[in-house]
Amino acid sequence: TVHVDGRAVKSCNVLAVQMAGAEVTTIEGITPAEGMHPMQAAFKACHGLQCGFCTPGMVMSAIDLVQHHPHATDTQIREGLEGNLCRCTGYHNIVRAVLAAAGDEVSA
Ligand code: FES
């Protein structure tokens, strides 16, 4: 999952040519040189970090979600992240992390 002009998009669902002129941001692009993005920090603080396969997508989707729905409920967060699948664990701490980050007014 990457951000295309500020919206979370699954990179496997778009063609490179469709990105002409668009601003594409990866998980590396939201991470400051020192420290973490507030959403990354919230995932860490709430034990929402899972594996390196699913966590970047969760974080990128969560940032988009909070930016466009800053007062999302638990249910709305679960619905907003439903395209990000993890077969290993649960989503409880991820939802806690998104709620915590929303309280910190997460920005890109
Ligand atoms: Fe990443 Fe399950 S912890 S896919």
Residues with Cβ within 8 Å of 33's Cβ and at least 6 positions away in sequence, in order, are none
Other beta carbons within 10 angstroms of residue 8's beta carbon come to 23
Question: Which residue in 71, 67, 79 sits closest to 108, CA to CA?
Answer: 67
Rounded to whole angstroms, the Cα distance separating 23 from 78 reads 27
* Ligand 1 atom nearest to 55, measured from its CA: 1
Model confidence, pTM:
0.90
Q: Is the CB of 108 under 6 A from ligand 1?
A: no
Asked if residue 108 has pLDDT above 80, the reply is no
78 and 91 Cβ atoms separated by less than 8 Å = yes
The pairing of beta strand 7-9 with beta strand 24-25: unpaired
User: What average pLDDT does range 19-41 have in this prediction?
Assistant: 95
pLDDT digits (tens, 9 = 90+) for 32-90: 999 999 999 999 999 999 898 899 999 999 999 999 999 999 999 999 999 888 888 88
Nearest protein CA to atom 4 of ligand 1, as residue: 86
Which residue among 88, 91, 92, 93 is best mutated to probe the pocket of ligand 1, counting the most ligand atoms within 8 A of its Cβ?
88
Q: How far is the CA of 59 from the centre of ligand 1 (A)?
A: 13
